[in-house]
Amino acid sequence: MNVIELNQLTKYYGKSRGIEQVTLDVKEGEIFGFIGPNGAGKSTTIRTMLGLLYPDSGTAKIFGKDCFMSGPEIRQEIGYLPSEVFYYDKMKVIDLLNYTAGFFKNKNSKVKMRELAEIMELDLKKRIEDLSYGNKKKVGIVQGLMHSPKLIVLDEPTSGLDPLMQQKFFDIIKKENQNGASVFFSSHILAEVQSLCNRVAIIKDGQIIKVDDIKSMREDNYKKVTLKGNQIPSDQFINLQGVTNIHHVDRELKFFYKGDINQLTHLVSQNSLKDVLIEEPTLEEIFMHYYR
Amino acid sequence: MLNILKYELKLHLKSLIIWGISLVILAALLMLFYPTFGDDVALVDKMLENYPKELLQAFGMGGQLSLATVPGYFSFVFVFLQLMLAIQASNYGFSILSVEERELTADYLMTKPVSRSEIYISKFLASVIIMILSSGIAIVASLISIEAFRNGHPYDQERMVLLLLTLLPLSLLFLSLSLFISTLLKKVKSVLSLSLGLCFGLYIVNSVQTIVGGKWVSGLIPFHYFEPNYILENGELNTNYFMMYFIIVVVSIVVSYKTYLTKDIHSV
């Protein structure tokens, strides 16, 4: 079953582009990565899914229900953590979290709130305005997860968290996922996506340019090839079908290769080289490849 | 919905206390000066005769009632109560919806399982409740201070109560109107300057209109709908303005509601 189904979702801000014909689906139980640089349309997609923005065309469904017709019902089971968090400054953390619990039907929210606050080392008695940015972010995590949502939507969630807290946060997300929650994880930090997600969509200039398994994206398609030698016949390699992203510096030739590996090894064997490296590209390198 | 309503009421409680105390002080101060006028009827009337009629009208002293009588004096000072409640109501109207966007808490609230319709209704209802309480305080405080300072001068209590009761519909009008304006504006930067601008602006237009005249303009000025001289002289509301009042309130509420329901909430 699909938890999220976006179909041809389009949103313009006046004349400027937000997202164009975004189509993707997230399956139940998976951690879905959504990557792209700032301004690519990640937040616009998420905000449209959550009913903060109204699309110009296309449909957005969560749990099989329309995001705009059944917004409140859907959001009963969504936990959202934005990149920038803002809460009512004059409130105490505990009051804000109790207020939050009041919106949800889940009766265990308050118990889980205490558990999460303890894990995140969050002082519930402080006023929001007295919290550091990192601590406000912790409030965000607690208020987003306290009702044990079936879908967790994260929009660049780790900014402002120190590495130790980031790790704790990822552990919590993994645990929620093991307990059945699906996760939609938007980020431009590829290492995070790589370590956490099952599938990933890449968005560029408001359009989805690739949706694939992280594994197949890394393994099946591209190999990163590095050749070292005094006289590399670069033309021969560059002309090989399936070679892209060529970097030729001094005695080193680097490129991505997607094609028959025997052709490549045949060519390699015909030349005198000092070293050959054929490796899996990192997600970052794949990402840069799509962004050229 | 109850969750937001409770939160909003709690939020406004402090402001209600401050406005309530101010209204009590104002009501007392306004009547405190009455004995000076009431005890020397002839002198006051003679003094006022020297002023041009238009000027007296502009300051609410153009009616048949003498400034030396309780109703005459009160209809002159009543505008201060009207202004105060109008400003309080406009403050809420300009802020209740816009505050979430200004302080960037809209993301928090609107991603919770509540519809925008529930948010709008809860916030509006909370403001209405606060304005009922504020108007109630103003009415009771005014009646007590009239009794305390009238120095035995007579007045028609029923008519006075009727006049004071109009403070509530006036507040509701300013609440709806400012809410309407706030949803039309791209961003509400300063609530107080907008509410002071709206209330004093309309008050000045009201004063100018009484001098210059122009009946169609008077239909657009809320202060005119609840003109104290008319109510105290006739013992009834001026029904000519009922329609206009309802049009302004209903259109303001309907348009602001519809606008709010379909508004895009942009990220930081």
DSSP codes, B70-135: HHHHHHHHHHHHHHHHHHHHHHHHHHTTHHHHHTT-HHHHHTSS--HHHHHHHHHHHHHHHHHHHH
CA distance B201 to chain A (A): 32
| Residues of chain B neighbouring A51 (CB-CB closer than 8 A) | 110-111
Chain B's closest residue to A70, CA to CA, is B115
| Residues of chain B neighbouring A85 (CB-CB closer than 8 A) | 108
A46, A75, A156: which to substitute to probe chain B, counting the most B Cβ within 10 Å?
A75
Alpha-carbon distance of A153 to A261, in angstroms, equals 39
Please indicate if any CB of chain A lies within 8 Å of the CB of B64: no
A87, A91, A155, A184: which to substitute to probe chain B, counting the most B Cβ within 10 Å?
A87
- Check pLDDT > 90 for residue A20: yes
Mean predicted confidence (pLDDT) in B131-159: 92
Q: A 14-53 residues with CB below 8 A of B? A: 43, 47, 50-53
What pLDDT is recorded for position B182? 94
| Residues of chain B neighbouring A142 (CB-CB closer than 8 A) | none
Assign A218 a pLDDT band (cuts: 50, 70, 90): low
Mean predicted confidence (pLDDT) in B111-127: 96
DSSP codes, chain A: -EEEEEEEEEEEETTEEEEEEEEEEEETT-EEEEE--TTSSHHHHHHHHTTSS--SEEEEEETTEETTTSHHHHHTTEEEE-SS----TTSBHHHHHHHHHTT---TTHHHHHHHHHHHTT--TTSBGGGS-HHHHHHHHHHHHHTT--SEEEEESTTTT--HHHHHHHHHHHHHHHHTT-EEEEEES-HHHHHHH-SEEEEEETTEEEEEEEHHHIIIII-EEEEEE-SS--HHHHHTSTTEEEEEEETTEEEEEE-S-HHHHHHHHHTS--SEEEEEPPPHHHHHHHHT-
Mean predicted confidence (pLDDT) in B19-41: 88
Closest CA to B164 of B149, B179, B178, B144: B144
Token output for A253: 């030739």
Please indicate if any CB of chain A lies within 8 Å of the CB of B108: yes
Dump pLDDT digits (tens) for A58-117: 999 999 999 999 999 999 999 999 988 999 999 999 999 999 999 999 889 999 999 999
Closest CA to A254 of A238, A274, A230: A238
Tell me what ipTM this predicted complex has: 0.84
Assign A193 a pLDDT band (cuts: 50, 70, 90): confident
Dump pLDDT digits (tens) for B242-266: 889 999 999 999 999 999 999 988 8
CA distance A277 to chain B (A): 45
Helix (H) / strand (E) element for B231: namely helix B228-234
Give me the domains of chain A, ranges plus CATH numbers: 2-213 (3.40.50.300), 222-290 (3.30.70)
Beta carbons of A192 and A158 less than 8 angstroms apart: yes
- Check pLDDT > 60 for residue A220: no
Of A82, A89, A99, the CB nearest to B107: A82
Of A47, A72, A100, the CB nearest to B267: A47
What pLDDT is recorded for position B212? 76
Is B3–A52 a contact, with Cβ atoms under 8 angstroms apart? no
Lowest mean pLDDT segment, chosen from A5-19, A105-119, B122-136, B224-238: B224-238
Assign A292 a pLDDT band (cuts: 50, 70, 90): low
Dump pLDDT digits (tens) for A113-153: 999 999 999 999 999 999 999 999 999 999 999 999 999 99
Of A53, A73, A87, the CB nearest to B105: A87
Please indicate if any CB of chain B lies within 8 Å of the CB of A72: yes
Of B105, B107, B113, the CB nearest to A88: B105
